[in-house]
Structure 1
Amino acid sequence: MGLFSFIKNAGAKVFGIGKTDKEEVAEAAAAEVKMEALAASKLEETARDLDLHVEGLSIFIDDDAATISGEAADQATKEKMVLLVGNSDGIATVDDKMTVAVAAVVVPEAQFHAVVSGDTLGKIAKKYYGNAMKYTEIFEANKPMLTDPDKIYVGQVLRIPALD
């Protein structure tokens, strides 16, 4: 007869050792849900650390999609929350279900700009405002997520507020 080779982890689980494919899939799904909940918790913590005040903040992550709910103090905070979550690794879409506390002054919604190769805040300011020196408006609108006007990256989405 001789020696025969087999794939060790294939075949029926006749000895009660190992896990079935169903068990492995269930465990993988449970682990993914746990990781998504941990990521959502970290994002909520980061929002608090950055003083982004959203009453009843809730972030739910499912695969590469995030859903945010709660009541933002103002329109700028709402937009910054969307950017904080959306600019996080692994997040492709953000479903914004937040509301804004009633404000005395109505502020127009900002535009969003996805950074491409060669972009600078000055170049972006020139595009939206017609004046490259207005880059500080964009920088201020994206604080505290931006810490330096020269540190933007390709793919990052920035908030471009309307000028007064």
Structure 2
Amino acid sequence: MVRHIQEESDMGLWSFMKGAGKSLFGGEAHAGEAPKEEALKAELKELGLDDSGVDLAVEGDKVIVKGKAVDAETKEKIILAVGNVDGVASVETEDDADTSDATFHTVEKGDTLWAIAEKTLGNGSKYQAIFEANKPMLKHPDKIYPGQVLRIPKA
């Protein structure tokens, strides 16, 4: 399970696996290096996520999400989209008030969405709900990888 640490009443910190995730560099030359804000914004745009009202800042291997997203689900998807990028170890949010009651799960070797649904939602056949909650970052239910953090909707 991903750690969501409440640092202060108005801030949140999500931990990710720095060496796992999508490379925005397109090669091995920059593996493990955090991408720039522009590359992260381009990734959000490519995924079709509405990032209006949201600004990103990169400090080392941490991405800071500032501002207010259009809704809680979109904010969580933005956090996951930038956190599940190679070189990002954590995502900090300025305002945690606009997140939902969803939980997060870090994929382990051998995990399937069915097994994750069974463990987190009590029924493996609810894997489609996890898949839908992680669109557009997930393109196919079988395309998950160890270290990836997934949004688990409220049961």
Q: Shorter-chain-normalised TM-score: which range? A: 0.7 to 0.9
- Which one has more relative contact order, counting CA pairs under 8 Å at least 6 apart? 2
Query: Could you say which residue in structure 2 is the equivalent of 1:133?
Result: 125
1:107-118 map, 5 Å: 108-118=100-110
Residue 40 of structure 1: how far off its partner (Å): 1.1
Question: Which structure dedicates a bigger proportion of its chain to helix?
Answer: 1
Output the CA distance in 2 between the equivalents of 1:93 and 1:73.
22
Query: Could you say which residue in structure 2 is the equivalent of 1:30?
Result: none
Contact 1:67 1:96 in 2 (8 A): yes
Question: Partner letter of residue 138 of structure 1?
Answer: I
Query: Could you say which residue in structure 2 is the equivalent of 1:55?
Result: 52
Query: Could you say which residue in structure 1 is the equivalent of 2:90?
Result: 93
Contact 2:53 2:70 in 1 (8 A): no
Superposition RMSD in Å: 2.0
Output the CA distance in 2 between the equivalents of 1:115 and 1:121.
9
Identical-residue share of aligned pairs (%): 46
Structure 2 gaps, min length 5: 1-32
The alignment partner of 1:54 has SS state of coil
Q: How many residues align?
A: 123
The alignment partner of 1:149 has SS state of coil
Query: Which structure's CA Rg is the greater one?
Result: 1
Structure 1 gaps, min length 5: 1-34, 102-106
Question: Partner letter of residue 72 of structure 2?
Answer: Q
1:33-112 map, 5 Å: 39-98=36-95, 108-112=100-104
Deviations 1:56-79 (A, max 9, x none): 321111111110112211111010
TM-score by length of 1: 0.69
Deviations 1:77-128 (A, max 9, x none): 0100110111111010110125677xxxxx8421000001111000000011
TM-score by length of 2: 0.72
Query: Could you say which residue in structure 2 is the equivalent of 1:16?
Result: none
Query: Could you say which residue in structure 1 is the equivalent of 2:140?
Result: 148
